[in-house]
Amino acid sequence: MARLGENSYGKSRVRLSRITRLKDRHHFDEWAVHVMLEGGFEASFTEADNSQVLPTDTMKNTVYYVARGSNAATIEEFAMELGDYLLTGNSQVSGVRVEIEARAWEPLTIGGAPEPTTFKLGGPEVQTVRAVRDRGHREWSVRSGVEGLTILKTTKSAFAGYIVDKLTTLKPASDRILGTRATVTWDYAVAVPDYAQARARILAALLRTFAAHDSMSVQHTLFDMGKAALEAAPEIARIRFSMPNLHHLLANLHPFGQDNPNHIFVPIDEPHGTIEATVER
Distance CA 252, CA 267 (A): 13
11 is catalytic: yes
3-state SS class at 247: strand
254 is catalytic: no
| Residue 196 identity | A
Q: Say how many residues make up the chain.
A: 281
User: Which residue from 200, 3, 8 is spatially nearest to 93, judged by alpha carbons?
Assistant: 8
Q: Which of 62, 180, 213, 247 is catalytic?
A: 247
- Phi then psi dihedrals of residue 30, to 5 deg: -130, 115
Distance CA 205, CA 211 (A): 10
20 is catalytic: no
Q: Which of 26, 34, 56, 220 is catalytic?
A: 56
Q: Which helix (H) or strand (E) holds 36?
A: strand 26-39
- Which residue numbers are catalytic? 11, 56, 247
